Amino acid sequence: MSEATFLVGRGLADITGEAAECGMLGYGKADQQTEGIHTRQRSRAFVFAHGAQGARVLLIVNDLPLVFDSVHQEVLRRLGARYGTAYTTTNVMVTATHTHCAPGGYAHHLLYNSNTKGFRPKTFGALVDGILEAVARAHADLAPSHLVLSHGALHHASVNRSLAAFARNPEADRAFFPDAIDPQTTLLRIEREGTVVGAVNWFATHNTSMTNRNRLISADNKGYAGYHWEHDVAGVDYLSDLDAPPAFIGAFAQTNAGDMSPNLNLRPGSGPTEDEFENTRRIGLRQYEAAAALAAGEGRTIAGPIDARAVYVDMARVRVGPPFTADGRVHATSGPAGGAASFAGAGVDGPAFAGFREGANPWWDWPSRLAYRWSPRLRDSQAPKGIVLPGGALNQQLLPLVAQRVPVQLLRIGPLYLIGIPGEVTITAGLRLRRAVAQIVEADVHDVLVAGYSNGYIHYVTTPEEYDEQRYEGASTLFGRWELPALVQAAAGLATAMREGIVVDPGPGTADLSHRQRSRRDRTLPDSAPPGHSFGAVVVAPRPRYRAGERVSVVFVGTHPNNDLHRGGTYLEVQRQAGEEWHRVHDDGDWETRFVWKRVGRGASEVTVSWDIPPDAVAGQYRIRYQGDARDGDGALHPFTGETPSFAVAGAEPVAG
């Protein structure tokens, strides 16, 4: 193979937030509060550079529900303090996988902290610290590498949850997606000396295999895909010293997944099975298998170049001109407004609030019809939406409810173009963005991807035709029917500048609201243990003997897990005896374990640890350890450890000690 063209760096870090009594972000359910961990959240960072002093881009894929301007601003601020001008608004893409089962409370806009009782500094700190840790590891890992780009097709991992809206699009658009899904799976693999050491995969499906009934932190199907490739296939140990980069890092990123659901039977938690955990595993495994097949194939070796452009757009005040409007006239966006159907939720993935439905909501729609009679500009922008949440007005009166000024970005890595959009883009809306950029830069449309959920959040992006249907996605297109044309116009401007070699000034960024946050008061109650028990005491012990395939479930006297988030560590270990020593075989980031917390009374806690013994478990003696931190009356923390009695597992033949 020829001399490597690029320097590439890879980094991986834990970004798991508060595991107890923190509202989860995504489904909008007030009662969906964290009660433990199934799988941890990870940040995966990749630096792509042309030589030590050449152009570079930084891609950060995070197991997060959403990326807000709060995170984007703080990450860029700290990157600037550490690396100067190497990483900026223009060349850094911070994106989310969009899991709906992870802690919230890290936004600076009021709407997104509504079920967390305000801003959560601990969760915000954990994810920002983790992202910066992943970037630092990627920066230190820069080494000569080959990049190979591949495309494939993946079916049976997504379904269109909004067919009525999709059907409104012109035949020329619908023909591109004959099954009403975007089956394209794209892999950018990183090779060193003929070995694949990293990969980024893009595929459009919502990260909602886990339902709004779940209370355990989960990275969902895309998180499982990354975990499986790294841990199960490549043997990555997440608790080892990650400052020495692991053998492989694999990220499963989002693209235009706005109307794509993993719930193949068109019901929450249904498809391919009726078990949400098994669905998460299977949909994740299908994404992994498609990516691994591409990694084993030929692909195209990339020679360059690397480039980046970005611009901030005030989405409430965009004048959209021909050729971006279908009628050839000039139109304008207006302030953010949530429609009645947006409160219904996407029924396929989980209904939201009673009293609302997708489509027409006569009781809620009639006031807007009156308003449209008096304001032709509002009618042109927002009709037929039945406005329930006038975000533009509320932004002026309260702590800003939602973001208006957001970045639009275009990254280039050889023939691959990534359009960074701070929202949830439907497949047809994504196609229009992709076609516009591809035409300008003279690229194949398959090499141009929408990188949704990047650098901020404005909710959904639908085509004007889909908007008219006013299903959940259209009602959640906050800036109205001209929102997509406005974004296409911005992306086309960046593509033209990139083609012509013109430097783009991003302009003023989103307002910094960090000083205006009402932080939730941190829990200060001291932990207490039941009379006659100490912290870590075993309340429910394991049976003496188990077989592979069974579940071990034990209960400890616990403490509040938010005392110490154990970021980069674990609350539990499953250990196997080898001679006189005990070795960790599983922790709380593993698929086979569950860490469940429950409050008992005022200051007491109970912790249940379960372990699903895998079919290939080695026969031998095992025990389960719980690691907690007790807060005393003065607020000081005292680490402790609890251990179960040992128990036997009958499985495969034991290995030598």
* pTM beyond 0.95, yes or no: yes
CATH number of residue 623's parent domain:
2.60.40.2300
Task: Enumerate the β-bridge partners of residue 584.
Answer: 575
pLDDT on residue 392: 67
| Co-location of 105 and 205 in the same domain | yes
Q: Are residues 447 and 543 in the same domain?
A: no
Tokens of 530: 């039941």
Please list, in sequence order, all residues whose beta carbon lies within 8 angstroms of the beta carbon of residue 113, skipping any fewer than 6 positions away.
104, 105, 107, 119, 120
Q: Are residues 442 and 542 in the same domain?
A: no
CB 512 within 8 A of CB 71: no
Kindly give the pairing relationship between strand 143-153 and strand 42-49. Answer: unpaired
The helix (run of H) or strand (run of E) holding residue 190 is strand 184-192
Sites in the chain below the pLDDT cut of 70? 1-4, 241-243, 391-399, 518-524, 652-657
- Give the number of domains in the chain: 2
- What is the DSSP code string of 484-496? HHHHHHHHHHHHH
Residue that is written with structure tokens 């870590």 in the block? 536
Q: CA-CA distance, 26 to 349, in Å (whole number)? A: 11
> Model confidence over 412-428: pLDDT tens digits?
999 999 999 999 999 99
Query: Is-contact 642 538, C-beta < 8 A?
Result: yes
Distance CA 357, CA 347 (A): 9
438 and 545 co-located in one domain: no
CA angle 262, 268, 274 (to 5 degrees): 85
In a domain, 327, yes or no: no
Domain boundary at 451, 471, 497, which? 451
Q: What digits encode the pLDDT tens for the residues 45-74?
A: 999 999 877 899 999 999 999 999 999 999
Asked if the structure places residue 571 within a domain, the reply is yes
My answer on whether 447 and 555 are in the same domain is: no
Check whether residue 586 and residue 445 sit in a common domain: no
Is residue 391 within 8 Å of 336, Cβ to Cβ? yes
Q: HSE, CB side, 13 Å, CA atoms: give it for residue 489.
A: 22
Catalytic-labelled residue, pool 43, 162, 261, 605? 261
Answer for the pair 620, 577: CB distance below 8 angstroms, yes or no. Answer: yes
pLDDT, position 657: 45
Does 238 fall in a domain? yes
Nearest to 117 by CA among 492, 496, 521, 395: 521
**Token duo for residue 34:** 């964290």
DSSP tag of 454: B
Residue 209 lies in a domain: yes
Separation CA 285–CA 277 (nearest Å): 12
436 and 579 both lie in a single domain: no
| Domain membership flag for residue 527 | no
The answer to whether residue 261 is catalytic is yes
Residues 427 and 298 in one domain: yes
* Host domain of residue 619: 538-650
Instruction: Using alpha carbons, select from 428, 580, 607 the residue that is nearest to residue 35.
Output: 607
105 and 251 assigned to the same domain: yes
State pLDDT tens for residues 184-224.
999 999 999 999 999 999 999 999 999 999 999 999 999 99
Domain annotation covers residue 191: yes
Residue 313 lies in a domain: no
Is the domain of 187 the same as that of 295? yes
Q: Does 1 fall in a domain?
A: no
